[in-house]
């Protein structure tokens, strides 16, 4: 079977293509299928018009038209549609039902409905994009928000099948009237990877080898900043010589607010903010931690998302204390693999985190159990096989 993946944006610097599409494509090819990724490289315009091969998968960066987002929307969508058509694939699979790729997919389905013989088109969603979802976190115009919400619903209803990255998205998609047989639960999964060098990262950051390190690997929008500040202040009182390693970059100056709270709360000396880190260096930074926290407010965005960062942490063997929200409860089970807390229970999260930070032997045991739990239940190889079967079953309808 030949399959075209339509990407939502370029491969750099965003994560969906590398973290979700590429490993899935590589596993499908390992099962004997051929996969081509067609991407609109507006996030990496230097690759416009170039074709490259990554992990044996051909990635076609369509040529970017000139002009701003509005002026190039239709030309870019048309180029994506033509690039996919050129491949003469058996299946076309759109990742994220919005934007340029969404327009290309809408054209594909519209022509099918007019009787043109085109390949079945599937849709993948790893976030809720519409009302109350990711739309609200971006500075889109009201017209753009309405259109993206329309795209998400229209494409999900008219696609041959929908793959969803979380149980909440499964529920939301069914609520759009999509039959259960046309929905496949396809969470973010993991592959085997060599461990990072935590001591190297600690040396680079100036963190003592024996200091207890609490990791926050984040984009900051998933939780109340005030709650984070209270949590760090509480942990600082509980754990002597703790270091808070913050990896990631916010959108609205959250780092500056955290630094200010550290000054006020008295934990400035404990705060180490690494900022945005090159993907190849992430394993070292994860390995530098004794325990990770994963706070999540109980919002639609968080219930629907499938946090790839959380899977990276668990795969690295780092024990996690997370809020019991959405997909986190699929990846973390109370006890051996980690600990779950009720959202906004700062004292509970602080107590559980402190226990693991102070008892490194327990932390290593919990982290290893979590790594094994994830590796046994969430592998790209297993879910790629389920996806191939899903394609075959819904292509025949």
pLDDT digits (tens, 9 = 90+) for 198-214: 999 999 999 999 999 99
What is the average pLDDT value for the chain, to the nearest integer?
A: 93
151 in the same domain as 33:
yes
Confidence of residue 334 (pLDDT cuts 50, 70, 90): low
Q: Domain tally for the chain?
A: 2
216 in the same domain as 177:
no
CATH number of the domain that residue 182 is part of: 3.40.50.2000
207 in the same domain as 184:
no
Percent of the chain with pLDDT over 70: 97
Give the Cα separation of 308 and 280 in Å (integer): 15
Give the Cα separation of 183 and 289 in Å (integer): 37
pLDDT tens per residue, range 37-72: 999 999 899 999 999 999 999 999 999 998 766 678
Domain that holds residue 312: 198-377
Flag the least confident range among 164-173, 206-215, 243-252, 388-397: 388-397
Decide if pLDDT at 14 tops 70. Answer: no
126 in the same domain as 248:
no
Using alpha carbons only, give the angle 316, 290, 302 rounded to the nearest 5 degrees: 65
Decide if pLDDT at 92 tops 80. Answer: yes
The pLDDT of residue 337 is 59
Looking at per-residue confidence, does 136 or 109 come out higher?
109
The pLDDT of residue 193 is 86
Q: What does pTM read for this prediction?
A: 0.93
Confidence of residue 234 (pLDDT cuts 50, 70, 90): very high
Confidence of residue 336 (pLDDT cuts 50, 70, 90): low
Decide if pLDDT at 335 tops 60. Answer: no
The 10 Å Cβ neighbour count of residue 368 is: 14
Decide if pLDDT at 394 tops 70. Answer: yes
Beta strands in the chain (DSSP E): 2-6, 34-39, 51-54, 57-61, 91-95, 121-125, 161-164, 183-185, 213-217, 243-247, 271-275, 291-294, 320-323, 339-341
43 in the same domain as 137:
yes
270 in the same domain as 180:
no
């Amino acid at each position: 079977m030949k399959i075209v993946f339509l990407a939502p944006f370029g491969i750099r610097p965003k994560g969906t293509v590398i973290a979700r599409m590429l490993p899935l494509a590589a596993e499908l090819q390992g099962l004997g299928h051929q996969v081509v990724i067609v991407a609109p490289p507006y996030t990496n315009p230097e690759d416009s018009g170039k074709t490259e091969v990554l992990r044996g998968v051909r990635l076609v960066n369509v040529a970017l038209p000139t002009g701003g987002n509005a002026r190039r929307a239709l030309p870019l969508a048309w180029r994506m549609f033509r690039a996919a058509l050129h491949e003469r694939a058996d299946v076309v699979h759109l990742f994220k039902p919005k934007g340029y790729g969404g327009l290309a997919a809408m054209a594909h389905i519209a022509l099918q409905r007019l009787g043109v013989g085109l390949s079945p088109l599937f849709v993948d969603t790893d976030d809720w994009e519409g009302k109350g979802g990711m739309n609200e976190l971006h500075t889109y115009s009201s017209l753009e928000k309405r259109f993206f919400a329309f795209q998400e619903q229209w494409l999900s209803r008219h696609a041959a099948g929908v793959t969803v990255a979380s149980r909440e998205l499964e529920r939301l998609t069914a609520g759009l009237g999509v039959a259960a047989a046309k929905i496949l639960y396809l969470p973010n999964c993991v592959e085997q990877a060599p461990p990072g060098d935590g001591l190297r990262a600690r040396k680079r950051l100036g963190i003592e080898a024996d200091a207890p390190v609490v990791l926050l690997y984040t984009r900051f929008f998933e939780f109340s900043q005030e709650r984070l500040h209270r949590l760090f202040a509480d942990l600082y009182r509980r754990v002597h010589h703790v270091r808070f390693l913050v990896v990631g970059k916010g959108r609205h100056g959250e780092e500056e607010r955290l630094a200010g709270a550290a000054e006020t709360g008295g934990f400035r000396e404990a705060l180490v903010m690494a900022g945005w880190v090159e993907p190849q260096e992430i394993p070292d930074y994860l390995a530098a931690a004794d325990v990770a926290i994963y706070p999540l407010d109980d919002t639609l965005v968080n219930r629907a998302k499938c946090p790839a960062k959380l899977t990276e942490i668990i795969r690295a063997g780092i024990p996690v204390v997370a809020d019991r929200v959405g997909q986190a409860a699929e990846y973390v089970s109370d006890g051996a693999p980690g600990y779950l807390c009720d959202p906004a229970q700062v004292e509970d999260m602080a107590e559980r985190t402190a226990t693991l930070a102070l008892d490194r032997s327990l932390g290593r045991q919990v982290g290893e159990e979590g790594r094994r739990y994830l590796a046994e239940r969430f592998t790209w190889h297993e879910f790629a096989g389920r996806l191939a079967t899903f394609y075959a079953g819904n292509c025949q309808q």
